Amino acid sequence: MVTGPGNSQRLEGGSPLLEVSELVVHHGQLRALDGVSLRVFPGEVYAIIGANGAGKSTLLRTISGLHRPSAGSVLFDGQDMTRLRPERRATAGIVMVPEGRRLFGSLSVEENLQVGTAYARQGPWTIEQVYEMFGWMRERRGQRAAQLSGGEQQAVAIGRALVANPRMLLLDELSLGLAPVVVQRIYGMLPQILATGLTVLLVEQDVSQALRVASHIHCLLEGKTTLEGRPADVTADLVEAAYFGLAGATPGSRAGEGGGP
């Protein structure tokens, strides 16, 4: 089953779970993020889209503490995380599934899942619970991760993040290198994950996939916001203009608020 925008809601009335303000991140001389701000509300699926090199992974990695910003702030549940180390953020509830899965190939499926428990919070997710969700994983728990297919490795990477009992799951390019049918299967797990009270911030290069699952999309181009809004409020033309930097999308325009062309 594929989720739709109606499956997660944006409850702007309450406080955001994550609030990123005016984030600037450099890689050497390169200004990879240039004043990016966003607010993610509890229970929603917030999708960052953008072309290669737009700064999507840099944004996720900065939120999880792997890059240090030159300016700006990251607040999580009202607490300033900007200078905290990644493991402190994990114990606060921010956990990432990195681009490319990054499993330990020589370790078994179960050993990879155990890695995720290192900074685990109390919560509903256990290794047993992950096996309940991905039935095949229990039977293959002794198999080396390197022997799994790309889709199976992605599932283990998600499981490893879930056993840390995050409040917010950061998903970096889940669909990378996977067949469409496998991508659908992986995204089909989102409702089950959201049902346990999680909030999801994801990066997705496949725009139609992002529009299908997200309650809010945010497009980056060369480190800047070019569009943000609810999928229902953006047209294909608006997204295309924001994605490729064509005339028609003004930097930081907000769909549904009179910012579009």
Question: What residues make contact with ligand ATP under the rule CB under 6 A?
Answer: 27-28, 30, 32, 50, 52-58, 205
Residue nearer to ligand ATP on the CB measure, 53 or 123: 53
Residue nearer to ligand ATP on the CB measure, 113 or 211: 211
Residue nearer to ligand ATP on the CB measure, 53 or 86: 53
Smallest distance, ligand ATP to C-beta of residue 244, A: 13
Closest CA to 48 of 256, 242, 261, 250: 242
Dist. CA 41–CA 215, nearest whole Å: 10
CA distances in angstroms from 80 to 15, 76, 93, 116, 121, listed in the order given? 14, 7, 13, 24, 19
Smallest distance, ligand ATP to C-beta of residue 238, A: 19
Smallest distance, ligand ATP to C-beta of residue 128, A: 34
Smallest distance, ligand ATP to C-beta of residue 24, A: 13
Smallest distance, ligand ATP to C-beta of residue 138, A: 33
Length of the chain: 261
Helix axes 150-162, 180-187, angle to 10 degrees: 20
Residue nearer to ligand ATP on the CB measure, 127 or 220: 220
Residue nearer to ligand ATP on the CB measure, 42 or 50: 50
β-partners of residue 241 are none
**DSSP strand E in the chain: where?**
18-27, 30-40, 45-49, 71-76, 79-80, 94-97, 168-172, 199-203, 216-221, 224-229, 253-254
Smallest distance, ligand ATP to C-beta of residue 192, A: 27
Dist. CA 72–CA 183, nearest whole Å: 34
Residue nearer to ligand ATP on the CB measure, 10 or 56: 56
